[in-house]
Amino acid sequence: MKRVAWGWLAAFAAFVAYAALAAPPDDPALTRALVRGSFTGDFGGVDPAIAAVFSTLGVVPVLASTFVLRDGARRVLPAWPFALGMFVVGAFALLPWLALRNVGGPRALPRPPGPVRRLEARRFFGVGILLALLGLLAWALVRGSFRAYWHAFQTVSMVHVMSIDLAVCAALLAVLVEEARTHDDVVRAEPAAARALRFVPLLGAALWNALTARAP
């Protein structure tokens, strides 16, 4: 297969193998409570730190899609299935995009932005993502228990894998930011704060996206 980025594919295979073979056993009751809470907003019985990290994984795909769909507009391979896949499997969908996006080469003309990309390009949308992440971080720090989270990380597959998934997504977002910065129009619009703080895990990517977006 031509134009496959084998390094990203190897990272994907390693991540899948780790999640399948090295993660601790699952706790079905906790998993059900997290899934139910994601629909109802009621995470009763779940430590807020665990609920906040789980909820963050619902915001991260929105942030990542702003980069993936913009990048995909210039490529033959459609980006939207990978962007949607992130809402279900997180980095397990983002890594294959990075590995396969060059298959077929670049498009002669970029795809015109549809309503989703136009919405994502607005500053208020980027600010909303940033505020959501800050709110979830505050919830975890103020209401959550590090001891309870660490115990769950060591003993529950869902918490273990989602924590590593969040760390991988944060690292990949930093990569996507650096790629996006290669475009002249973006660099010209890049405020000093966005440039200085872009490597702050997760929040740096959200801040960079908000500050380089079109106003309002």
Residue 79 near residue 93, CB atoms below 8 Å:
no
At residue 215, the pLDDT reads: 67
Q: What are phi and psi of 167, to 5 degrees?
A: -65, -40
CB atoms within 10 A of CB 120: 20
Quote the Cα angle for 166-170-171, to 5°.
120
Q: Exposure of 205 by Cβ count < 10 A (0-12 exposed, 13-18 middle, 19+ buried)? A: buried
- Cβ(177)–Cβ(205) below 8 Å: yes
Separation in Å, CA 167 to CA 80, 171, 173: 22, 6, 10
Is the bond preceding residue 78 a cis peptide, omega within 30 degrees? no
Per-residue pLDDT band for 66 (boundaries 50, 70, 90) equals: very high
What is the pLDDT at residue 174? Answer: 95
DSSP 8-state symbol, 79: S
The pLDDT of residue 192 is 86
Average pLDDT over every residue of 186-193: 78
Q: Looking at 21-30, 42-51, 65-74, 184-193, which range is the least confident one? A: 184-193
Question: What percent of the chain has a predicted confidence (pLDDT) above 70?
Answer: 96
Tell whether the model's pLDDT for residue 43 goes beyond 70.
yes
Q: Is the separation of the CB atoms in 125 and 205 below 8 Å?
A: no
pLDDT the model gives residue 2: 59
The 10s digit of each residue's pLDDT in 96-140 is 999 999 988 888 778 888 999 999 989 999 999 999 999 999 999
Q: pLDDT class for 184, splitting at 50, 70, 90?
A: low
pLDDT over 90 at 189, yes or no: no
Query: Across all residues in the chain, what is the average pLDDT?
Result: 91
Q: Is the pLDDT of residue 56 over 60?
A: yes
- Catalogue the long-range contacts made by 146-151 (C-beta closer than 8 Å, 24 or more residues apart): 146/49, 148/47, 148/49, 148/50, 149/47, 149/49, 149/50, 149/53
